Amino acid sequence: MSLSSGRKLGVIASLITVILPVVTVIASVFMAQSLFATFQRWVANQATPAFSILSAELSAFFIILVILAIISLIGLILFILAMHQLSHYYKESGIFKNIVYALIVNIVGAIFVFALFFVFITSSINSAITTPSTSILPFLNQFFFSLIALIVLAMVLGIISAAFYMRAFNKLGEKSDSDSFKAAGVLYFVGVLLSVVLVGGILVWIAWIIAAYGFHSLKPLSSPNNFSTPSAVTSPVPAQTIPCPNCGTGNVPEALYCGSCGKQLQ
């Protein structure tokens, strides 16, 4: 697997995750201002049919949200591909496996939470119909406590998913020797823990900025072939010798007599 492709995919996915919340906030602010202006015109009884304008604005805002959701899904797919390629490049399966575990928790958890929400709503309505009461307070209490339970369950599942994300970033940081991924993993986990307050979302957003920098600064592994190996110590090639015809001892070419037995050399 190529490091460059994994690095590019990771940078693009992280930047998408960083930019989308900003675009969503800006679009929401403009939408709120537009709706407020439409409401003011409606109250003032101007000639322009405010209801049609309101419908058009809501439709445009819905289309924008759908487009942003599609872009977010594309960013998630690119992030998964990036972690898969880097997992193969660094020969560390935990980088990709932890992301898969996080996705499984998110998908199964979302289905479970929505199913429970539907069950709670249905049971609350049935209870209100079968046991009519002059007060709506019991129905509101049941709905409120059910909603709190679902929020707590969603937070627990989000924390479990964030733990897998942190483990994946930590393993990538260990293999790439980059502290950026370790910092991103910790910030992401802490941000999800503090997701009840606004600072949690800000920490998660900062974590993706650090992750983008980490992907951008990834460098190739140092190959063992790149290191200079000391040259092997070569023994001097022995000079050519003349064997003695009597004892077979080797003698230097300029010798006249054998250095071992003293016989004359031919």
Could you tell me which residues come within 8 angstroms of residue 211 by beta carbon, excluding any fewer than 6 positions away? Answer: 10, 14, 169, 180, 181, 184
Q: What is the mean pLDDT of residues 154-173?
A: 93
Please give the biggest Cα pair distance in the chain. 136
Comparing 101 with 114, the larger pLDDT belongs to: 101
- Mean pLDDT value across residues 152-172: 93
**Average pLDDT score over residue span 71-100:** 93
pLDDT band of 2, cuts 50, 70, 90:
confident
Residue 225 clears pLDDT 50, i.e. is over it: no
pLDDT computed for residue 131 by the predictor: 62
Q: How far is Cα 10 from Cα 218, in angstroms, rounded to an integer? A: 10
**Residue 229: is its pLDDT beyond 50?**
no
Highest mean pLDDT (candidates 5-14, 228-237, 240-249): 5-14
pLDDT at 68: 92
pLDDT at 122 over 80: no
How far apart, in whole angstroms, are the C-alpha atoms of residue 156 and residue 13? 25
* CA torsion, ordered 16, 17, 21, 23, to nearest 10 deg: 0
Assess whether pLDDT exceeds 70 at residue 133.
no
Higher pLDDT, 264 or 76: 76
Task: Give the model confidence (pLDDT) of 186-224 as tens digits.
Answer: 999 999 999 877 788 899 999 999 999 999 999 887 754
Q: How confident is the model at residue 239 (pLDDT cuts 50, 70, 90)?
A: low
Q: What is the pTM of this model?
A: 0.72
Q: What confidence tens digit (pLDDT) does each residue in 38-62 have?
A: 777 766 665 555 566 667 777 888 8
- Between 115 and 248, the more confident residue is 115
